[in-house]
Structure 1
Amino acid sequence: MEIVIGLICLLVGAGVAVIVMRSAKTGSIREADLKVQAAQSEAEQVVHDAQRQADTLKKEALLEAKEEILKNRQAAEEENRQRKHEIHTLEQRVMQREETLDRRNSALDKREHQLSAQQGSLDRKAQEIDQLYTKQLSELERIAELSRDEAHRELLDTVRSEVTHKAATIIRESEQRVRAEVQKTAQEIISIAIQRTASDHTAELTVTSVHIPSDDLKGRIIGREGRNIRTFEQISGVNLVIDDTPETVVLSSFDPVRRETARVALENLIADGRIHPARIEEMYQKAASLVAERVQEAGEQAAFDCGIHDLHPEIIKTLGALRYRTSYGQNVLRHSMEVAELAAIMATELKVDIHAAKRAGLLHDLGKAIDHEVEGPHAVIGAELCRRYGEKPHIVHAIEAHHGDIEPNTVLDILVQAADAISASRPGARRESAENYIKRLEKLEFIANSHDGVDRTYAMQAGREVHVMVQPDKISDADSAVLAHDIARQIEDEMEYPGQVRVVVIRESRATDIAK
């Protein structure tokens, strides 16, 4: 308040000074006096008003302080009452827990007393049992005329001999069961691989027939004094056979790539119409470039389809040449891709390296692309080619061992051998196996029909299932199970087949009447 009053006085003084200065300027002393008196009166009035306002503010501040103190006191009293209530509640809970613990202690004391009494009773009974056991043991030793140690040794000898015999029996049965399960598992894996692979193969020969629009072109192909045909054979390395077959000429060569190049060149010459030595050489060069591109594309596509992306370019080129190579009518490139797929399927079942199995399966017949140029078995030629271009030793070994040229010694070797055999021997894969396939079906039906009580037999699902219809008056339901077992065992003993053969014996009895 004093500061406020001081400030007001300061302001009043400043105002008076201003007025005095103004009065001095006007030079009127009287007016200045009057103004000074007026200013003093006004200053006194301002001071009075400020004093009154300060007193009012002071009273209001005191009232607000008292109200705040009252509110804080009431809040503290309320908080104190709540804490006293909580403490009272906690004291009651503690007292209740103490009472509960007292009751539990009393119960535990009573239970301990009971257990002590029971323990004493059990001790007395145990002593009585020990006495009876000792008495009975002495009596048994007297009756058996053997001491305890002697009886123990005799019992151990007897048990040991029985356990040894039983263990030998168990081991023998386990070995038999394991052999049966291994055989069954191997058959299942091979059958799964066979069933999951069903590819068609195009039969091709060592000769290629080319259709011509008319027989008049045969003379133009031969040329004057045979110069065209001689030029064509010298450039292509393929024999061109022109005979009396209408509108057909034949290309013959053991090199499938050369034969395909010659076919493309001859077809282009026929379409162009200009057949002379210079044109023959030009067309053959274009055909050779086209076939080389096709070979490269075929190799790259085969590697891509099998998921193998790091083959050497020369291996890819040689692999693509297998597109024009056949073995007993089976396309070798398709066969190689099928072997890769079969080997991968079996590797998956056996939990071995799937990528290695697929790679070895795809490359196993690589040597067939150049076996007309290099002496030796195609497995050895292919292995040497792969070794030259950086394939890993276990891949090379699997390729070299797939026809037994060297001894197979890894799971990968056996997988490639099995996949190659499956792909080559499955029904319809090769011309030779078609006859064997028909013979196998006839053999299955013959074996089933040779049993008494069999009416009809049907070989189904490419020889993987045999349905045997029996005569119901001769074969009972119990006999049906025995008959199915006997037929299955005879098929195992007398036949060789991929996968497994399911024998189903069907016994049906019908009764018919007519309502009139």
Structure 2
Amino acid sequence: MKIEIALILIAVALGAGALVGALLRRKSAESRLANAEQASAQIIEEAKKEADTIRKESLIQAKDAVLEAKSEWEKESRELRREIQAQEKRLLQKEENLDRRTTQVDAKEEEQVKRDKALMQQEERLRGREKDVESLVAEQAARLESISGMSAEEAKSQLMQNMESEARHDAAKRIKQIEDEARESADKKAKEILALAIQRYAGDFVAEKAVSVVPLPNDEMKGRIIGREGRNIRAIEAATGIDLIIDDTPEAVIISGFNPVRREVARIALERLIADGRIHPARIEEVVNKATQEVDEAIREAGEQATFDVGVHGIHPEIIKLIGRLRYRTSYGQNVLQHSLEVAFLCGIMASELGLNVKQAKRAGLLHDIGKAVDHEIEGSHAVIGADLARKYGESPKIVHALAAHHEDEKPETILAVLVQAADALSGARPGARREMLETYVKRLEDLERIGTSFVGVTSCFAIQAGREIRVMVSSEEVSDAQSHVLARDIARKVEDEMTYPGQIKVNVIRETRAVEYAK
């Protein structure tokens, strides 16, 4: 029983505890609910405030965007208005220009119409004048026919016959002239070929420049030079390449040879053999070798001295030797080395006056005749030979061209080439520079006068100034002033074609008209 009561009490206690716990839980739930409602009300209030703030900011941003869009639109509108105004202004200017052009075109059209009217009136006047002229021509033709007693057709026929006769005569003269020119050209070419062959052969006519005389102490020395059975003289001739002439000339031996260097070697060797007295083949060969060395040294020294005197440097040693060899070469009696030095100095003087390269001009002048040092060994003109040698030994193209052109083997294309030509002519043409035989001199004067008097209208001709000028007197009735210039040129051309001469020849045509009257 007690246990049941206890259990009942425990059950009551547990029920009361559960009730109390439920009440307590309810109160805590109510308090939490109240707190939650309060918190939610606060959150809602804060959300409302934040929403108001966002709405206000959105309104502000929307207003700013509207203002910005409005300002951009206004800016674009202003630019568009400006462009429209500018286009309107350009259109107005174009309209004004078109109006002005239209006005000008209208004015030109009016002027053109006036000109057309004036031209039409002028054409009408010209037609009237042409009719008048035609009538006058017909009247004059009728008068001429009545005066001459011939009709127009007869006059034309007569005129054509006269013209045909003159044409035939002119054609015959032209044919004759062409034949004469062809004959003269052929003769000139033949003479050039013969002269070149004679010059290169150098026969007896150049004996005075191709021999040297060696004096002997006595005539017995001739026998020693000849030697037993002529072995000594054969040895000398074989070693030197020069001919020895031993004749009846007392106490003298003649050395003959065209090569001046070999002739000089033979002269020195023979003089030393005569002075030494020992003459036999072995000794002859030894002395000739020494003489050759001495002459080679003298040639080199002469070339170096020439380059030093002129003041040019850097010349190839082989060219210096060629310059030295010119010491033993002559042309018309003029020493070629001395002539080359003169040409170099003359070129330098003229180049200085013209403001050109003086050293280059002197170099070309000094080298212009180096071909003469070997022209008997190489085929061709000495100018071409010299140019080839200069090219071979490294001279500049200007120098090579000046050498090749100084005798018209090439057409001069530079001032330097013309300077060398002029200096060469000056050095060879100055008085006393070259010797020529009296017969040749007289023949040249006669040829000059013959050429001058061969032209129609020439009354007399005189060669003066030692053949460097001819004065031609012409008839004033047959030759006019204009024709006198043509005649002077024709005479000069004929002299160039038919004659060979140093320097230049002046042709002076003199035409004189005298009017004489007497007062009574």
Task: State the TM-score, normalized to the length of structure 1.
Answer: 0.48
Does 1 or 2 have the higher relative contact order (CA < 8 Å, sep 6+)?
A: 1
- Radius of gyration: which is bigger? 2
Task: State the TM-score, normalized to the length of structure 2.
Answer: 0.48
